[in-house]
């Protein structure tokens, strides 16, 4: 039998929710809108990052790379510049879903 994939490799995926899927978790959206620093710190804590450094497009890129999510540094940068709240809420929803699935 021929090996066609390297061990541990898997196909690139997508974020589990869309960038503007606000109705998927209204609590996260409200937290992002009214207490963005709190939401950023919870994500940083979950990712073992420093909360004081702030949440940036680089954090999104690290997460994307870890879970083999399609995208690029440029796209992460643009999304974070266009709507940092949307990008942060999407990241929080994805982390929560991966925790529920036992893969975070």
Separation of alpha carbons 104 and 93, rounded Å: 12
* Predicted TM-score (pTM) of this structure: 0.85
What pLDDT digit, counting tens, does each position of 56-104 carry? 888 999 999 999 999 999 999 999 999 999 999 999 999 999 999 999 8
Tens of pLDDT, residues 27-52: 999 999 999 999 999 999 999 988 88
Phi-psi domain of 75 (left: phi exceeds 0; alpha: psi -120 through 50; beta: other): alpha
- Can you give the pLDDT at residue 53? 76
Domain boundaries defined on the chain: 24-101
First to last CA, the chain: 32
């Amino acid at each position: 039998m021929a090996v066609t994939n390297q061990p541990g490799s898997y196909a690139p995926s997508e974020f589990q929710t869309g960038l503007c899927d606000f109705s998927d978790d209204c609590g996260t959206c409200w937290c992002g809108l009214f207490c963005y620093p709190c939401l950023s710190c919870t994500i940083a804590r979950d990712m073992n990052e420093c909360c004081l450094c702030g949440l940036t497009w680089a954090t999104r890129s690290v997460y994307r790379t870890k879970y083999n999510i399609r995208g690029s540094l440029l796209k992460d940068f643009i999304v974070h510049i266009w709507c940092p709240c949307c990008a942060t809420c999407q990241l929080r929803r994805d982390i929560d879903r991966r925790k529920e699935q036992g893969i975070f």
